[in-house]
């Protein structure tokens, strides 16, 4: 019988998993440091296609007794990625910054949509001030994004079982590079169309951050008044 607590997921590795699975990715990933898995094969494959020793793992993840935080697609999802990629350091210690710093505390697993090749381009446009949050949210609805599952504690990593390992051949990597480039080009084209359509609807990323800075400045003035 099917066990609904067990998911089949995929993980791409540049050179293969060595030793015990642990939440040890680089810090500046979408949802912070952890062990990243996707529900579609294609996403991890395009991330590792430039590495000659790339491996694709098929995994089982047992969700039993894990504390799971699922972030819905939308502005909060985008701002959580911004926080984890270091895009909010200018407003460090503000209410908005602290919200995202504390958002995933106490959880073992984070579940959210993947910023794939096309979405990565659109997100960069948003972070760089080329499109507004309205344009970003409308682009999210236009894309069919897969989900990523990030084990951020050792407890969650211990619930992962490797069921298959595949070495990516040179020919496969070449095809994947072409696919990745095509996806990025598609993202650029879509971002251009969205930017034209929603030129001034909504707020730009720097406007969201500057609002937090202004709130912090007003608070400090009030504190000084009564010091």
In sequence order, what are the residues at sequence separation of 6 or more whose Cβ sits closer than 8 angstroms to the Cβ of residue 32? 84, 104, 110, 150, 152
Q: How confident is the model at residue 93 (pLDDT cuts 50, 70, 90)?
A: confident
Mean per-residue pLDDT, 214-224 = 58
Q: Does residue 29 surpass a pLDDT of 70? A: yes
Q: Which of 53-62, 79-88, 178-187 has the weakest average pLDDT?
A: 178-187
Q: How confident is the model at residue 173 (pLDDT cuts 50, 70, 90)?
A: confident
Q: Does residue 26 surpass a pLDDT of 70? A: yes
Q: Return the top range by mean pLDDT from 52-56, 77-81, 219-223.
A: 77-81
Mean per-residue pLDDT, 52-70 = 93
Q: Does residue 223 surpass a pLDDT of 50? A: no
Quote the pLDDT of residue 76. Answer: 92
- DSSP H helical ranges for the chain: 42-48, 75-84, 95-102, 117-127, 133-142, 154-157, 170-197, 205-225
Q: What is the pLDDT of residues 107-150, one digit of tens each?
A: 999 999 887 766 777 888 899 988 889 888 888 777 767 899 99
Quote the pLDDT of residue 47. Answer: 77
In sequence order, what are the residues at sequence separation of 6 or more whose Cβ sits closer than 8 angstroms to the Cβ of residue 152? 23, 31, 32, 33, 34, 104, 107, 108, 109, 110
């Amino acid at each position: 019988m099917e066990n609904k607590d067990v998911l089949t997921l995929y993980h791409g590795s540049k050179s293969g998993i060595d030793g015990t699975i642990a939440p040890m990715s680089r810090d500046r990933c979408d949802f912070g440091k952890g062990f990243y898995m996707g529900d579609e094969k294609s996403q991890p494959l395009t991330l590792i296609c430039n590495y000659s020793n790339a491996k694709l793992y098929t995994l089982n993840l047992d969700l039993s007794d894990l504390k799971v935080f699922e972030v819905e697609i939308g502005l909060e999802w985008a701002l959580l990625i911004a926080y984890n990629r270091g895009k909010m350091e200018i407003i460090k210690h503000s209410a908005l910054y602290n919200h995202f710093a504390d958002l995933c505390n106490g959880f073992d697993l984070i579940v959210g949509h993947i910023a794939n090749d096309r979405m990565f381009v659109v997100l960069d446009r948003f972070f760089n001030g080329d499109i507004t949050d309205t344009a970003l949210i409308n682009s999210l609805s236009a894309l069919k994004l897969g989900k990523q599952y990030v084990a951020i504690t050792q407890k969650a990593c211990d619930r992962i079982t490797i069921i298959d390992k595949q070495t990516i051949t040179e020919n496969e990597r070449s095809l994947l590079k072409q696919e990745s480039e095509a996806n990025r080009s598609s993202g650029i084209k879509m971002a251009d169309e969205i930017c034209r359509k929603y030129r001034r609807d909504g707020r730009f990323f720097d406007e969201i951050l500057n609002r937090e800075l202004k709130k912090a400045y007003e608070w400090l003035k009030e504190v000084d008044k009564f010091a």
